[in-house]
Structure 1
């Protein structure tokens, strides 16, 4: 991508993930949370067909993780591409996914596919989602599938 195009994309991307004023900073000057935001913002700039997010929130504190989940929900509703999101958190999968694929270990294989019937719009209150019976099922069904004899 041309340098001029990169510059204009950088100006477009920081606002959805709250990086305003950070464009001139070096990597070592950013907190862990800001580095994760850069990674989230960088992916759509390259326009991959299916971006991969492999445990992007694993090393973050709970408050930053919660904030970034909300930002990812907002980005997903506005940008639209499919994202392959790998996580060990059933709650995270339920909050961010439109379907959950549960995998068994060694060799990794899909043992269950669970659709997520929860609202996808960014205005949805996450606290109300956590109280939804469908959310409770989404937190247990994938894990139960990995423990079944078929998964072994």
Structure 2
């Protein structure tokens, strides 16, 4: 039996602001923007190449900014960082986890290069570089 993660709710305080951030700045595709009824709106966006989407406006019961550590793998951490920076997203430098478990600046070894950023509400995201020779799904 396959279990596939399809949608992750991201709690935000302003759907229009978040839609603009994720769609225009981060570069996620806007799949739909649906008004389900009075005061109920859902905006679904998908990262390029991903089978999993995020949804803004879902009633998750979580306060805006409370989601932390949602991770996206990318084939080139420097290119992904440059993409975000060029679009005005505040991002960390490329970092890696040292032998002591602390973050240090610069790329690390296989699967050990990360960039961190947050949306306007403080929801935290992690980009992780997947080694180029390890691209199988």
Question: Would you call these one fold, judging by a TM-score over 0.5?
Answer: no
Which protein is richer in strand relative to its size?
2
TM-score range normalised by the length of the shorter chain: 0.3 to 0.5
Larger RCO (CA within 8 A; separation ≥ 6):
2
> With structure 2 as the length reference, what TM-score do the two structures score?
0.33
Structure exhibiting the larger radius of gyration computed from Cα positions: 1
Q: Which has the higher helix share?
A: 1
- What TM-score does the superposition give when structure 1 sets the normalisation length? 0.31
